């Protein structure tokens, strides 16, 4: 199964928190709990197709938001407000 469609298999009844990372500008944002991931994923794929280096992660039980933030800040990334990297 391609990576593009892998996110669809991860859907759950509970909203997931979404993190978006812009590797070109070394910024990241936490979008919080999202009920429907599809609009976000579509916009991230469009940004990547346009030449941006954008990645995303969902938070579940394994990784906390604090761990994600700490790991990226240690790596030199700056946290930005929600909807500052990708708009839907």
pLDDT digit string, tens, across residues 27-43: 999 998 887 888 999 99
Distance CA 46, CA 48 (A): 5
Phi-psi region at 30: left, alpha or beta (left = phi > 0; alpha = psi -120 to 50): beta
Residue 7 lies in a domain: no
Cβ of 88: how many Cβ atoms within 10 Å? 13
Q: Which residue has the higher pLDDT, 72 or 4?
A: 72
Residue 60 lies in a domain: yes
Instruction: Give the count of domains, the chain.
Output: 1
Tokens found for residue 70: 């700490």
Give the pLDDT of residue 38. 87
Q: Helical H runs in 28-76?
A: 38-49, 65-74
Residue 26 lies in a domain: yes
- Residue numbers of the domain that contains 62: 16-79
Residue 86 lies in a domain: no
Contacts of 41 (CB under 8 A, 6+ apart): 7, 56
Residue 85 lies in a domain: no
Query: Structure pTM?
Result: 0.78
Residue 62 lies in a domain: yes
């Amino acid at each position: 199964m391609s990576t593009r469609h892998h996110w669809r298999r991860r859907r759950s009844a509970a909203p997931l928190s979404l993190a978006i990372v812009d590797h070109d500008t070394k910024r990241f944002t936490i979008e919080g709990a999202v009920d429907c991931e599809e609009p976000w994923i579509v916009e991230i794929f469009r940004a990547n197709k346009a030449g941006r280096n954008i990645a995303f992660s969902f938070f579940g039980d394994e990784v906390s938001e604090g761990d994600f933030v700490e790991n990226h800040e240690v790596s030199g990334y700056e946290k930005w407000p929600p909807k500052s990297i990708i708009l839907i």
